[in-house]
């Protein structure tokens, strides 16, 4: 008799049937074995409150009346059994004081007696109660008590399996670090979204990789947790998801575009506060992309549009937000087209190194050149870098472009030196992406060594934005390695960043290049002259030579020379030109110094000699 009952319930547990269905079947089978009895199972939560789980023989209104009732010494049979942790027999509900507050619920349904037992878990925790109600005032028989005792382990097995499944499901949908719903839960939420007035915000934590690389992953974890707290201080926990890595998502129900933007602004205000991460002070920053449901009906499209907005925000207003609109698609499409054009040119080796001379302002002699990328279209037309600069915001494209340029430059300089053409140095522009390449600067050094060119001929030009993007320490290590190898370093576009003087102190440089925007203001603009004078004074005190970029008029050249700047670069002297034309110009106008004889390496050997 009982063996059949046990087999039925254990089979339902093993095959994964729902908890309610399993325990309702248990109640039905018990009622079949004990005519006149009505079985009930209540669960107990961590706050000590009861909840109906299975009672197919009881009126639904009665079961629901017991929902969320707190256990206690006089809370009917079930509340008392759970409170004391022992079976409670009430042979007359109408007269028993433990039912004083609840008999009005039971008696109208002809429930006259109740025998309830606590359900203990495998570790001694009370999980709920199993009860038998009777239609007349009486105590349970020995058979009834024996059947209840046999059912308690079955209830325990079913309840604990259900709890394990709930915990597994919770973990499957929860980010361990922040406790927020994760990407899997976000995907479920998106699938359940219906057309309406809602907004999606995708949040990217700026510079998480730099924090990880600089201070360690413990600091990175603290940064993520800090950002999560900032987001939760603005919106409900149910609205925030951590998608993984440095990305969060926020779903705002019944929110207009304006409201979404106001919340994004508040996010920044809350998050952009200094915080301690693994003992280090970090200044968190987030970038947000916003899309609104009014723009599309498909949730998948909304996600895509928010991605586009975030992608554009990281390029244009990092640390702020961008809301998607139709014009954004056109902008991104144009950029994609440029990236594809440059990628094709890289694949077909249609990227060329052209050179612009760096000149002594006082003598007109060429002391060096700066290598500038040019893209040759299939039609033969040559595009200056300004027309495809947008593509270099793609890290892969930027790094690939530098590699190809280095190969071109090393071959050109090697050819000039072997031909006896006077050249003192060549400037090579580096991007932020180059500093993220694991084999850099080794790949640069290898290219020059293949052509037998001493490394001191290369001046590596790094803009202030690269310094800022690298947060100094990462860049400093790479630059130290390059200077140790023999390369020289130039700080390009000096004055356009936010911490120029700090960089001169923290990262030694061999050359400063004044940005064209300052050269343009030379003339009647006293402020422009004062700024250039200040830069020249600082550089002189540090013993660092200066090149003025963008010199276009004799008047600018005269002002610079009068204030001690002897090196200039710009259209006044020459535009960028192919290597063959630069070779001719160097022969006629190159500053003559000790002649360096470089022979093409044979069998991996480099031969360099110096003669008068």
Residue 343's pLDDT is: 86
Three-class secondary structure assignment of 524-572: CCHHHHHHHHHHHHHHHHHCCCEEEECCCCHHHHHHHHHCCCCEEECCC
The angle, 0 to 180 degrees and rounded to 10, between the axes of the packed helices 208-215 and 473-485 is 70
Residue 505's pLDDT is: 61
Give the least confident one: 317-326, 461-470, 489-498, 500-509: 500-509
Look at residue 223 and tell me whether its pLDDT is greater than 70. Answer: yes
* CATH number of the 183-324 domain: 3.30.70.270
Give the least confident one: 77-86, 489-498, 537-546, 574-583: 489-498
Q: What integer is the mean pLDDT of 203-222?
A: 89
Other CB atoms within 10 Å distance of the CB of residue 98? 20
608 close to 452: Cβ distance less than 8 angstroms: yes
Read off the DSSP letter of residue 174: B
365 close to 417: Cβ distance less than 8 angstroms: no
Residue 473's pLDDT is: 64
Residue 603's pLDDT is: 40
Question: What are the φ/ψ torsions at residue 417 (nearest 5 degrees)?
Answer: -65, -40
Q: What integer is the mean pLDDT of 574-598?
A: 83
Q: What integer is the mean pLDDT of 556-572?
A: 94
Residue 604's pLDDT is: 35
**Percent above pLDDT 90 for the chain:** 57
Look at residue 596 and tell me whether its pLDDT is greater than 80. Answer: no
Q: Which residues of 259-271 are buried (b: 16+ CB within 10 A; e: fewer)?
A: ebbebbeebbebb
For 224-273, what is each residue's pLDDT tens digit?
A: 999 999 999 999 877 899 998 899 999 998 888 999 999 999 999 999 88
Look at residue 511 and tell me whether its pLDDT is greater than 70. Answer: yes
For 385-409, what is each residue's pLDDT tens digit?
A: 888 877 877 778 888 889 999 999 9
Q: What integer is the mean pLDDT of 69-78?
A: 96
Look at residue 209 and tell me whether its pLDDT is greater than 90. Answer: no
Kindly give, in sequence order, each residue whose CB lies less than 8 Å from that of residue 278, ignoring residues fewer than 6 positions away.
Answer: 215, 216, 218, 219, 221, 222
pLDDT band at 84 (very low <50, low <70, confident <90, very high): very high
474 close to 214: Cβ distance less than 8 angstroms: yes
* CATH number of the 2-171 domain: 3.30.450.40
Residue 136's pLDDT is: 96
56, two tokens: 């197919």
Instruction: Please give the torsion angle defined by the CA atoms of residues 141, 146, 150 and 151, in that order, rounded to the nearest 10 degrees.
Output: 10
What average pLDDT does the structure give for the chain?
87
Q: What integer is the mean pLDDT of 528-555?
A: 89
Find tokens 């028989």 and name the residue. Answer: 141
Look at residue 500 and tell me whether its pLDDT is greater than 70. Answer: no
Look at residue 470 and tell me whether its pLDDT is greater than 60. Answer: no
Dist. CA 209–CA 601, nearest whole Å = 40
Look at residue 1 and tell me whether its pLDDT is greater than 90. Answer: no
Look at residue 459 and tell me whether its pLDDT is greater than 50. Answer: yes
Q: Give which of 457, 416, 449, 358 is closest to 583, Cα–Cα.
A: 416
Residue 501's pLDDT is: 57
pLDDT band at 610 (very low <50, low <70, confident <90, very high): very low
pLDDT band at 48 (very low <50, low <70, confident <90, very high): very high
Q: Do strands 37-44 and 595-602 pair parallel, antiparallel, or not at all (unpaired)?
A: unpaired
Q: What integer is the mean pLDDT of 412-439?
A: 89
SS3 52: strand
Residue 22's pLDDT is: 95
Residue range(s) of every CATH 3.30.450.40 domain in the chain: 2-171
Residue range(s) of every CATH 3.30.70.270 domain in the chain: 183-324
Read off the DSSP letter of residue 107: G
* CATH number of the 348-611 domain: 3.20.20.450
Q: What's the full length of the chain, in residues?
A: 612
Alpha helices in 102-181 (DSSP H): 103-106, 142-172
Q: How many CA atoms lie less than 13 Å away from 514 in the CB half-sphere?
A: 32
Residue 498's pLDDT is: 44
Look at residue 456 and tell me whether its pLDDT is greater than 80. Answer: yes
Residue 611's pLDDT is: 33
Q: What integer is the mean pLDDT of 53-58?
A: 96
For 153-166, what is each residue's pLDDT tens digit?
A: 999 999 999 998 88
Prior bond of 441 cis (ω within 30°)? yes
Dist. CA 64–CA 62, nearest whole Å = 6
Dist. CA 50–CA 63, nearest whole Å = 11
Residue 608's pLDDT is: 34
Look at residue 192 and tell me whether its pLDDT is greater than 90. Answer: no
Three-class secondary structure assignment of 449-513: HHCCCCHHHEEEEEEHHHHHHHCCHHHHHHHHHHHHHCCEEEEEEECCCCCHHHHHHHCCCCEEE
535 close to 546: Cβ distance less than 8 angstroms: yes
Residue range(s) of every CATH 3.20.20.450 domain in the chain: 348-611
Find tokens 């009014």 and name the residue. Answer: 294
501, two tokens: 């003087």
Look at residue 196 and tell me whether its pLDDT is greater than 80. Answer: no
**Percent above pLDDT 70 for the chain:** 92
């Amino acid at each position: 008799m009982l063996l059949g009952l046990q087999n039925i319930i254990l089979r339902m547990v093993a095959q994964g049937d729902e908890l309610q269905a399993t325990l309702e079947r248990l109640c039905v089978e018990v009622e079949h074995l004990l005519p006149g009895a009505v079985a009930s199972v209540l669960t107990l939560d961590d706050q000590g409150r009861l909840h109906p789980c299975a009672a197919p023989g009881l009126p639904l209104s009665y079961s629901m009346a017991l929902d969320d009732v707190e256990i206690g010494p006089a809370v009917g049979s079930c509340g008392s059994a759970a409170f004391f942790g022992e079976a409670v027999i009430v042979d007359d509900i109408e007269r028993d004081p433990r039912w004083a507050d609840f008999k009005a619920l039971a008696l109208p349904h002809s429930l006259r007696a109740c025998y309830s037992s606590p359900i203990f878990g495998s570790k001694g925790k009370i999980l709920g109660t199993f009860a038998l109600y009777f239609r007349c005032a009486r105590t349970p028989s020995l058979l009834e008590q024996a059947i209840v005792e046999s059912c308690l382990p079955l209830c325990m097995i079913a309840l604990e399996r259900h709890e394990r499944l709930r915990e597994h499901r919770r973990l499957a949908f929860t980010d361990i670090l922040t406790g927020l719903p994760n990407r899997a839960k976000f995907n479920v939420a998106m699938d359940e979204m219906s057309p309406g007035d809602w907004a999606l915000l995708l949040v990217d934590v700026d510079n998480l990789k730099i924090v990880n690389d600089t201070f360690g992953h413990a600091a990175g974890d603290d940064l993520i947790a800090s950002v999560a707290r900032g987001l939760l201080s603005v919106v409900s926990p149910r609205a925030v998801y951590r998608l993984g890595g440095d990305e969060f998502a926020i779903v705002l129900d019944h929110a207009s575009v304006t409201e979404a933007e106001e919340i994004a602004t508040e996010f920044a205000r809350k998050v952009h506060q200094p915080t301690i991460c693994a003992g280090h002070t970090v200044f968190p920053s987030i970038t947000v992309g916003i899309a609104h449901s009014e723009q599309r009906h498909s949730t998948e499209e909304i996600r895509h549009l928010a991605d586009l907005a975030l992608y554009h925000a990281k390029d244009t207003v990092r640390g702020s937000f961008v809301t998607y609109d139709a014009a954004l698609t056109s902008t991104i499409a144009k950029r994609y087209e440029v990236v594809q054009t440059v990628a094709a040119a890289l694949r077909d080796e249609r990227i060329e190194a052209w050179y612009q001379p760096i000149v002594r302002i006082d003598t007109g002699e060429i002391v060096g050149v700066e290598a500038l990328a040019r893209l040759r279209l299939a039609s033969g037309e040559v595009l200056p870098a300004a027309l495809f600069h947008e593509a270099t915001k793609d890290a892969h494209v930027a790094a690939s472009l530098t590699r190809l340029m280095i190969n071109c430059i090393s071959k050109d300089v090697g050819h000039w030196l072997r031909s006896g053409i006077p050249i003192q140095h060549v400037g090579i522009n580096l991007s932020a992406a180059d500093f993220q390449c694991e084999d850099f600067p080794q790949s640069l050094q290898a290219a020059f060594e293949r052509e037998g060119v001493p490394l001191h001929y290369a001046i590596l030009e790094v803009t202030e934005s690269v310094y800022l993007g690298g947060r100094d320490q990462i860049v400093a290590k790479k630059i130290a390695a390059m200077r140790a190898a023999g390369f020289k370093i130039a700080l390009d576009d000096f004055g356009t960043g936010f911490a120029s003087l700090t960089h001169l102190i923290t990262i030694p440089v061999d050359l400063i290049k004044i940005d064209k925007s300052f050269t343009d203001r030379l003339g009647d603009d006293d402020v422009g002259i004062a700024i250039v004078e200040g830069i020249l004074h600082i550089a002189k005190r540090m013993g660092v030579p200066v090149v003025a970029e963008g010199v276009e008029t004799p008047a600018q050249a005269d002002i610079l020379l009068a204030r001690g700047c002897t090196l200039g670069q710009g259209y006044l002297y020459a535009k960028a030109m192919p290597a063959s034309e630069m070779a001719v110009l160097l022969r006629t106008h190159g500053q003559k110094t000790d002649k360096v004889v470089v022979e093409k390496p044979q069998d991996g050997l480099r031969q360099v000699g110096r003669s008068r």
